[in-house]
Amino acid sequence: MSVSASPTSTEIQRELKRKSLHLPGLLAPFAFHYYPRVSTAVTAVVCALYYIAELRRLSEKPSLPVIGYLSERLTRSSHMDLAPIFLAVGLGISSHFLPLRAAFAGALLACLCDAFAAVIGMKFGVRRIFFLKKTYLGTFAFFVSAVVVLIPLLGPQGALITAMVASLIEALSIEGVDNLLLPILGGVVARYFL
């Protein structure tokens, strides 16, 4: 087990800002449910603009308004950050193919619980999980928050099982892939408890 370096308050603030941008994703299942074509088009345009903004950031060209600004200020790395696109695609897929409540459960996992885990893991987590950037405490925070937010939707048993599966996905995913997998697989598991 490796011990993580203590992040600065600036790094924690930056992560809070990044994760706050995930919160509108909680509306995605409802938007896709009631306005599927418009939601798909808007998601595709935003993903394309974000991708262009990332390409411009990496080539050190002037940024696009708003999306480019966010890309420059909130990215975690010097390479292409696809996590926001993964989140949009994951929310879109789960919202298109799962019942509304199951898609909402997946959105809660990806947009709320993942943010809680990141902040707790960065601020208080000491021991890392194997070679990953995730900490045991962050994963535990994810699990607890998932159980709490899923009980009203799935009941205690459904919340526990869905939280366990989602916690494994969150803990073992690399480079933002959890943003793609949590809404889809978390929603698929949740569907069985609706």
Q: Is 166 a residue whose pLDDT tops 80?
A: yes
3-state secondary structure of 56: helix
Residue 128 φ/ψ, nearest 5 degrees:
-85, 155
With a cut of 90, say whether residue 30 has pLDDT above it. yes
Model pLDDT, residue 144: 98
Q: How confident is the model at residue 3 (pLDDT cuts 50, 70, 90)?
A: low
Q: What is the pLDDT of residue 74?
A: 64
Nearest to 47 by CA among 98, 95, 81, 76: 81
52-61, 83-92, 110-119, 126-135: the lowest-pLDDT one: 126-135
Note the pLDDT tens digit of each residue in 56-104. 888 888 777 777 767 666 676 678 888 899 999 999 999 999 999 999 9
